[in-house]
């Protein structure tokens, strides 16, 4: 049977009736709100927690059995609901932190991609300013991955000439890239 004692001198209240439920609410809601406020630190949230506890009791009134004083049951229910609320809030904050960390990483990746593309285009423009033979050797070496020996054999020049052209191209690129803002 669902009931609550108003105090040690009062008779049991049956909170299955609206009148009994309202009496229990009036007797305990203020104290329960103070308890919830002390746990969650937010008046509005504390009031919602207490309201939800009483709503749950009202919805389950025909099947709920409370052993012992109603005050103890209500206090425990509010404590558990407040802890659950704090746990959910902590999980939500963790999700927000992860979300913003992921956005920051994605932002850095996008920024790095844009920087890389800009640099690649700039290098392409600089390579285009190289003398034709130097540009051809640089392309075969750096973009095609050919060895100096293969380039020399294909272009019918010495390996020393290939090395000289690559040195000239790299020196030009280094000078002009370091001047880029």
Does position 30 have pLDDT exceeding 60, yes or no? yes
Same domain, 159 and 87: no
Number of domains in the chain: 2
The domain of 26 spans 4-91
pTM for this entry: 0.50
CB 66 within 8 Å of CB 3: yes
| Secondary structure of the chain in HEC code, one letter for each residue | CCCEECCCCCCEECCCCHHHHHHHHHHHHHHHHHHHHHHHCCHHHHHHHHHHHHHHHHHCCCCCCCCCCHHHHHHHHHHHHHHHHHHHHHHHHHHHHHHHHHHHHHHHHHHHHHHHHHHHHHHHHHHHCCCHHHHHHHHHHHHCCCCHHHHHHHHCCCHHHHHHHHHHHHHHHHHHHHCCC
pLDDT at 93: 84
> Alpha-carbon distance 21 to 13, whole Å?
8
pLDDT digits (tens, 9 = 90+) for 100-152: 776 666 666 777 888 888 888 888 899 999 999 999 999 999 888 999 999 99
Residue 30: inside a domain, yes or no? yes
Residue 115: inside a domain, yes or no? no
Does position 1 have pLDDT exceeding 70, yes or no? no
Residue 111: inside a domain, yes or no? no
Of 70, 91, 112, which residue sits at a domain end?
A: 91
């Amino acid at each position: 049977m669902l009931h609550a004692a108003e105090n040690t001198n009062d008779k049991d209240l049956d909170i299955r009736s609206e009148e009994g439920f309202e009496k229990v609410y009036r007797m305990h809601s203020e104290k329960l709100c103070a308890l919830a406020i002390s746990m969650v630190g937010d008046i509005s949230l504390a009031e919602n927690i207490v309201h939800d506890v009483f709503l749950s009791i009202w919805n389950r009134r025909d099947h709920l059995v409370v052993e012992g004083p109603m005050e103890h049951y209500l206090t425990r229910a509010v404590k558990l609901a407040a802890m659950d609320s704090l746990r959910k809030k902590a999980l939500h904050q963790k999700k927000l932190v992860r979300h913003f960390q992921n956005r920051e990483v994605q932002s850095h990746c996008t920024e790095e991609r844009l920087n890389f593309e800009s640099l690649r285009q700039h290098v392409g423009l600089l390579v285009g300013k190289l003398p034709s033979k130097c540009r051809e050797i640089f392309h075969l070496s750096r973009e095609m991955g050919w060895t100096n020996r293969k380039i020399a054999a294909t272009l019918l020049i010495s390996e020393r000439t290939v090395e000289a052209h690559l040195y000239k191209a790299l020196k030009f690129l280094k000078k002009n890239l370091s001047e880029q803002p």
